[in-house]
Chain A
């Protein structure tokens, strides 16, 4: 809209005295506008490609049996992979949500200026740790003791999910008006109660956003699981043994020479992609709500 009106005013002033330089400037402007529009288009084309290809390759294999059967059944299904992904992510969330929220509260509500800076750096570095290193950490620290297991995977996921929760918590606490805290403190409410019942309650939808983002990250990780939980055909859901997951299933089946496995990798990808999409749409609505605060 804006660019259009800009061009229109250009047309009007064209009837005035325009030097060759001005004409040139307008031409450059038109060309660069197109280039910028094209860039925006380029940024979305991969998404369209991925959605179309994953849907067209994955939909034919999608059936109720695929979601409710185990890999050893006929026809083959991914029930244990879905369960494994959900369980490991859930366990990781049980650890990372309190640590992340608590740490975020500490950094924003209690820490001195200097500690807060250190804390921000810690969060940044943790967010930037390549996920394979979280897997390597769990592989070196835990696999020799407890073997390839769901627990080791859950702990590597915890390392990756903590900074997501902590960053979101800290950012959203910053949005809570100071006046709210002051009003509560002025009424004689102790600081910790103010923090829990006023500050955090106000920011609750933002904190929930962080949790959903962490779940989304946990469900989508592959690399750490390759080193820790690996894969399994077992339908017994025991965190102490190897566990299947959707991401590792896609990875293993993608490289299979059997075309049936490859098709099922696409179908699994479709299931995982849909989950990621749902979680992110959820976050969208949450953030829109929390903007109002």
Chain B
């Protein structure tokens, strides 16, 4: 009796282990791919570290390396212009996208009548689905000249006369600029801020709203005193997520920033470069040392995006604990 029972349960379990192993294998494979991605890019940078210290690489500018006839390597690669460009363009992007995206989400959840909210949500999220090269083409052919002749021209001929960081010759504007790359990034990440913020604001308990309305608060007071403060961790996460997306954007930025990697530009209205686009150029005639430097840019980009993703995940865990489930 016992033996039959035993074999019975074993036959029932026969598919259990293989299935478990297959699904575990799939997960391990994915994690291994991520690990391999980092290791393989990191490994390519060793040749650079043998001649240039990481700190010099991060903080200097320039992009040249030679191998002399005697086989002596000299390297003067600097990531600083790219790091600077990535930071500035992403910050411009976030400075625009954060308020617009969060307020758009507030509108969708708190103010919009239902017949407006549903289609508007759809439209905002469609922007996130447009391939970046299409946005890049639009930015290059339509947005960039418009910005040059409106905002940039106006700022350059007023404030720019005093502040060197906003200066530019209004008669001969640069065909590409860091500022325009920032605006393009703003357009690309606003839907992301709006979508995540919308979920966060929706999860604010209804009773909190009712409490304030009961005390005679206006709509704006409810938003400012209860909704935004309650949702602040989630909103911060939304902005952080968008920042991570902005630093990784390659093609749209490459089309409008000008790819000038020699030194840090003196004005926001001049051409510059950024990490991700810089990685995508110069493969045709790259030496092993050049590739090492490109790999090093990749390592910097990977580490920054890793830290941001991990931070967002920690925020999600924390807010889940605070609210007792729900994201």
A binding-site residues for B, Cβ under 8 Å:
1-3, 6, 10, 25-26, 28-29, 32-33, 35-37, 39-40, 42-44, 46-47, 49-50, 53-54, 57, 98-103, 105-107, 109-111, 117, 119-122, 124-137, 139-141, 158-159, 162-163, 166, 188, 190-193, 195-196, 216, 219-223, 226-227, 247, 250-251, 254-255, 262, 265-266, 269, 272-273, 276-277, 279-280, 284
Contact = CB atoms under 8 A, between A and B. Distances in A.
B129 interface: yes
Contacts of A140: 40-41, 43-44, 291, 295
Contact of A2 (B44, B113, B132, B312): B113
B133 A247 contact: yes
Contact of B27 (A37, A103, A134, A269): A103
Contact of B280 (A29, A191, A227): A227
Interface in B302-319: 302, 305-306, 308-310, 312-313, 317
Contacts of A37: 107, 111
Contacts of A2: 110-111, 113, 219
Contacts of B37: 129, 133-134, 137, 159
Contacts of B310: 121, 124-125
B59 interface: no
B101 A254 contact: no
B40 to A, nearest CB: 5
Contacts of A131: 248, 250
Contact of B298 (A42, A136, A191, A216): A136
B124 interface: yes
Given A25-B218, A33-B111, A122-B31, A222 B309 contact: no
A36 B107 contact: yes
B54 to A, nearest CB: 18
Interface of B: 12-13, 15-16, 19-20, 22-27, 29-31, 33-34, 36-37, 40-41, 43-44, 99-104, 106-108, 110-114, 120, 122-127, 129-138, 140-143, 187, 190-191, 194, 218-221, 223-224, 244-245, 247-251, 255, 276-277, 279-280, 283, 291, 294-295, 298, 301-302, 305-306, 308-310, 312-313, 317
B31 A98 contact: no
A132 B248 contact: yes
A35 B106 CA distance: 11
Please indicate which of the listed interface residues A101, A133, A159 has the most CB atoms of chain B within 10 Å of its own CB: A133
Nearest to B299: A133
Contacts of B110: 2
A37 B111 CA distance: 8
Nearest to A3: B111
Given A102-B25, A163-B30, A130 B120 contact: no
Nearest to B115: A1
Contacts of A54: 134, 137-138
Contacts of B277: 132
Nearest to B146: A49
A22 B33 CA distance: 61
B111 A36 contact: yes
Contacts of A137: 36-37, 40-41
A276 B130 contact: yes
Nearest to A166: B30
Contacts of A126: 30, 33-34
B20 A39 contact: no
A269 B137 contact: yes
Contact of B131 (A101, A158, A255, A276): A276
B142 A102 contact: no
Decide if the interface of chain A is mainly helix, strand, loop or mixed. Answer: helix
B16 A220 contact: no
Given A129-B34, A220-B133, 13 more contacts: A29-B218, A39-B102, A43-B194, A105-B23, A134-B37, A219-B131, A222-B132, A247-B131, A262-B141, A265-B137, A272-B133, A272-B134, A273-B131
Contacts of B130: 47, 50, 220, 273, 276
B251 A251 contact: yes
B103 A36 contact: yes
B131 A132 contact: no
A120 to B, nearest CB: 6
A122 B140 contact: no
Nearest to B114: A1
Nearest to B312: A124
Nearest to A219: B131
Nearest to A158: B33
Contacts of B245: 128
A40 B131 contact: no
A223 B107 contact: no
Contacts of B313: 120-121, 124
B127 A46 contact: yes
A247 B15 CA distance: 44
Contacts of B283: 139, 227
A1 B132 CA distance: 36
Nearest to A189: B12
By Cβ-Cβ distance, the 10 closest A-B pairs, closest first, are A130-B248, A102-B26, A220-B131, A39-B103, A106-B23, A103-B27, A192-B19, A128-B309, A29-B218, A1-B113
A277 B31 CA distance: 31
A47 B123 contact: yes
A107 B301 contact: no
A101 B37 CA distance: 21
A223 B250 contact: yes
A106 B37 CA distance: 22
Contacts of B123: 44, 47
Contacts of B125: 280
A57 B138 CA distance: 10
